[in-house]
Amino acid sequence: MDDLVKRFLNGERRALARIISRVENGTPEGRDYLRTLFPHSGRTHIIGVTGGAGSGKSTLTGALAGEYRKRGKTVGIVAVDPSSPFTHGAILGDRIRMQEHALDPGVYVRSMAGRGALGGLAPTIDDVVSIMDAFGFDYVVIETVGAGQDEVEIAGTALTTILVNNPGTGDDIQALKAGIIEIADILVVNKADHPGADVLVSQLQALLSLAPKGSRRPPILKTTAIKNEGMEALADAIDAHRVELETTGKLEEHRAEDARHQVLSITRSILLERIRAATSESDLAALVQRVAARELDPHSAADELAAAVAAQS
């Protein structure tokens, strides 16, 4: 067996960190590691923390990890920050809010750059989470890029999705809109020591009361993460949601859906990769130029590209 794998299975964090890098970068070596370690995954409870920029996701994630440590549980954290759309560089600053766990061997924090992925995640987030899952943390928490209204992808990867709201950020019509609010398994009103927290809670309650009969009503919790307030109730709500998933059969359903999504999305990138390989850069440039000049519509252009691969295989 590969020495790195052996050290990984022995619980060595440096081996974990090294394997994550390879998997994050999607190198052939990374693929081998994923193949070897994937069978060890599937035991961890995966939590997603999403919400607007500055809503307190990192602080909440750090405080939640503190609560789990009190309960004797280990936590792996993947914190995603955006990449520059121009230079593709990134500043990853979520660790700053999690300093109290800096030297705790029961907490591992890994920063990831979004690298252009949609949905507030990173292109290889599923693979990195699988590796952290295989390492054997009791909980893995994914913190998304600051999300607005429509970044719902986290609900596919996470088993429990927490949406972090803040008082004073919009009226009840905002909460009535479709999108991100629908994927929340738990609604958190963070910065609850700020004015307007109770108003927001009642607005959210009123909104949830409009949901069709029999549909699940996510709990609404008030937290002040910076003061570690409300973390016990949050950890309890996450555990209750896990039990709910298990007893209703939703856990298997969720896993099957996530597996389908992962397989299809990887297939999509393989096919795109093949199309790119089958088409020369100059042919592609000529084709898109015709679209830009309005001589050809984008759908027909895509059909032409796809046909090139079909002809090859």
Partner 1 sequence: MTAPTATKIRVLIAKPGLDGHDRGAKVVARALRDGGCEVIYTGIRQTPEMIAEAALQEDVDVVGLSILSGAHLELFPRVVAELKKRGVDDVLLFCGGIIPDEDTKPLEDLGFSAIFRPGTNTQDIVKFVYAHVTK
User: Interface with partner 1 includes 267 (CB under 8 A)?
Assistant: no
Tell the smallest beta-carbon distance from residue 22 to partner 1 (Å): 9
- What tokens appear for 8 in the block? 């990984």
Residue indicated by tokens 């984008």: 298
For the chain, the farthest-separated pair of C-alpha atoms sits apart, in whole angstroms, at: 65
Tell the smallest beta-carbon distance from residue 56 to partner 1 (Å): 17
For 30, 31, 34, the CA distances from 38, given in Å and listed in that order, are 12, 10, 5
Tell the smallest beta-carbon distance from residue 268 to partner 1 (Å): 14
Tell the smallest beta-carbon distance from residue 130 to partner 1 (Å): 17
Q: Which of 41, 15, 20, 16 is nearest to 30 (CA)?
A: 20
Dihedrals phi, psi of 127, to nearest 5 degrees:
-65, -45
User: Interface with partner 1 includes 137 (CB under 8 A)?
Assistant: no
* Side-by-side strand order, sheet with 220-223: 107-113, 75-81, 139-143, 45-51, 160-165, 186-190, 220-223
User: Interface with partner 1 includes 113 (CB under 8 A)?
Assistant: yes
Q: Which residues 6+ apart lie within 8 Å of 185 measured at CB?
A: 160, 161, 162, 218, 241
User: What residues numbered 45-104 form the site for partner 1, per CB under 8 A?
Assistant: 83-85, 87-93, 95-96, 99, 102-103
Among 36, 111, 262, 279, binds partner 1 (CB under 8 A): 111
Tell the smallest beta-carbon distance from residue 292 to partner 1 (Å): 21
# residues near partner 1 by CB under 8 A: 32
Binding-site ranges for partner 1 (CB under 8 A):
13-14, 17-18, 20-21, 25-27, 83-85, 87-93, 95-96, 99, 102-103, 108-111, 113, 115-116, 123
